[in-house]
């Protein structure tokens, strides 16, 4: 599946990845740093691609984003995004190291980078002007904050900044907290998956046409797509969405509720589920109340409905309530800490924690019945494979000379 007619020596592309994965044989040069790009390429590695992580002399910034750090001084943040890869450090301001990259691309299917727009062109590595003619089957993916052009084109972008600019913070939080950043880098995460989808579509097209193409993913575009259903609510009503805490703008009761020993989240999306809720908790009186007759009325009277439900919930523990409600067909879940979430029996059943000597990380969420993914080798230290890769390139030229 490698893209070029004259691949590099097998020593460079060592097939260290899962040879039975869906992407076995695919070769990826990963120039990206921080989160969105590395997440994308880690997923490619989990599913069998051979990924060479090319880092600047100082390394990926996430190597230093701690504490916490592991004993070797590497930040936990970096380890979350770079398993299954090999590392080489290159300084693209030098002709010598740019030549090494070009050698790597001789055997590559995919290149992923997240430099500021124009950076690759400055180095003479622009896709349209240089790379596509030299490597016609190369799929080139760039991940940027805002894209190359437009009023914000070429500017730097980080997850929380995009949450702010694109309205995500404006609908997260309550009146006490004010607009609040979502507690995970949700824009970066989704942008990584957006880039992944684009790359895989380009692979399918290449199978038909024999040619690669450019794939672009931006934090800005991705963040705007997160505004569901808020954007469509605004388009329809003309009303600017505001802060609802944990509640849903279109559904009630769909919110966080206090119990005797903590909080649960209750998800009721239709009248049948509301009837089951009321019967399960012994509040059939709510069914006869016209204030809660249907979802539209429950939205209008959400505050009083929450008071009624919590009055009953506070006489029960969260685990007992969740067990009763879920068994009755009403979606409900305890509001767990990270520690509690990772310790759940179902987390272990789903194999969503990978643990082996020297590494512990989250599992793989996408599984294929015939081509099973497999978490790759422990995240590399900086330039841990640099000598090996350079030696292979040298031997290739010595052998051909």
Neighbour-count burial for 79-109, b at 16+ CB within 10 Å, e otherwise: bbbbbbbbbbbbebeeeebbebbebbbbbbb
- Which regions of the chain carry the CATH code 3.40.50.10540? 27-225+368-400
**CATH no. of 27-225+368-400:** 3.40.50.10540
Q: Could you tell me the CA-to-CA distances from 268 to 255, 275, 302 in Å, in that order?
A: 9, 10, 12
Q: What is the pLDDT of residues 205-240, one digit of tens each?
A: 999 999 999 999 999 999 999 999 999 999 999 999
> CATH assignment of 254-343?
3.30.1540.10
pLDDT tens sequence across 345-355: 999 999 999 99
How much is the pLDDT for 355? 93
What's the confidence (pLDDT) of residue 10?
46
Q: Where in the chain is the domain with CATH 3.30.1540.10?
A: 254-343
pLDDT digits (tens, 9 = 90+) for 125-140: 999 999 999 999 999 9
User: pLDDT (tens digit, 9 = 90+) per residue, 137-168?
Assistant: 999 999 999 999 999 999 999 999 999 999 99
Evaluate if residue 16 carries a pLDDT over 80.
Answer: no
Q: What is the pLDDT confidence band of residue 13, given thresholds at 50, 70 and 90? A: confident
pTM, 2 dp? 0.91
What pLDDT, on the 0 to 100 scale, is given for residue 4?
Answer: 41
pLDDT of residue 2: 43
Q: Chain-wide mean pLDDT for the chain?
A: 93
CA 124 to each of CA 98, 99, 343: distance values in angstroms, whole numbers, following the listed order: 9, 11, 50
Band of the pLDDT at 361, cuts 50, 70, 90? very high
Q: How many residues does the chain have?
A: 401
Tell me 51's DSSP state. Answer: E
According to DSSP, the residues that pair with 333 across neighbouring strands are 265
Question: Mind telling me the catalytic residues?
Answer: 248
Give percent of the chain above pLDDT 70.
Answer: 95
């Amino acid at each position: 599946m490698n893209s070029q007619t004259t691949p590099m020596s097998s020593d460079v592309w060592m097939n260290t990845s899962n040879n039975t994965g869906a992407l076995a044989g695919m070769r990826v040069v990963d120039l990206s740093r921080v989160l969105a790009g590395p997440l994308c390429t880690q997923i490619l590695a989990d599913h069998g691609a051979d990924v060479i992580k090319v880092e600047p002399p100082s390394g990926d910034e996430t190597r230093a984003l701690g504490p916490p750090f592991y004993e070797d001084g590497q930040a936990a943040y970096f380890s979350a995004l770079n398993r299954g890869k090999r590392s080489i450090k290159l300084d693209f301001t030098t002709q010598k190291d740019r030549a090494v990259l070009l050698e790597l691309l001789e055997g590559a299917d995919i290149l992923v980078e997240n430099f500021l727009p124009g950076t690759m062109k400055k180095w003479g590595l622009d896709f349209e002007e240089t790379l596509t003619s030299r490597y016609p089957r190369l799929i080139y993916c760039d991940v940027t904050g805002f894209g190359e052009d437009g009023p914000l084109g070429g500017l730097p972008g980080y997850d929380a900044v995009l949450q702010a600019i694109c309205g995500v913070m404006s609908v997260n939080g309550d009146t006490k907290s004010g607009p609040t950043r979502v507690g995970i880098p949700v824009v970066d995460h989704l942008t990584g998956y957006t880039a992944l989808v684009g790359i895989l579509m380009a692979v399918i097209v290449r199978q038909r046409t024999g040619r690669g193409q450019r794939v672009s993913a931006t934090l800005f575009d991705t963040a705007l797509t997160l505004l569901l259903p808020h954007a469509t609510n605004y388009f329809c009503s003309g009303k600017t969405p505001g802060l609802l805490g944990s509640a849903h703008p279109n559904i009630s009761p769909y919110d966080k509720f206090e119990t005797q020993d903590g909080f649960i989240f209750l998800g009721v999306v239709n009248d049948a589920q509301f009837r089951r809720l009321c019967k399960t908790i012994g509040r059939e009186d709510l069914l006869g109340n016209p204030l809660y007759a249907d979802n539209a009325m429950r939205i209008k009277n959400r505050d009083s409905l929450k008071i009624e439900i919590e009055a009953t919930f506070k006489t029960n523990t969260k685990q007992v309530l969740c067990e009763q409600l879920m068994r009755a067909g009403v979606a409900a879940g305890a509001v767990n800490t990270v520690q509690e979430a990772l310790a759940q029996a179902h987390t272990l059943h789903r194999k969503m924690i990978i643990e082996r000597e020297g590494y512990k990380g989250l599992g793989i969420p996408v599984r294929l019945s015939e081509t099973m993914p497999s978490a790759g080798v422990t995240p590399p230290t900086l330039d841990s494979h640099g000598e090996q890769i350079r030696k292979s390139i040298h031997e290739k030229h010595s052998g051909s000379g």
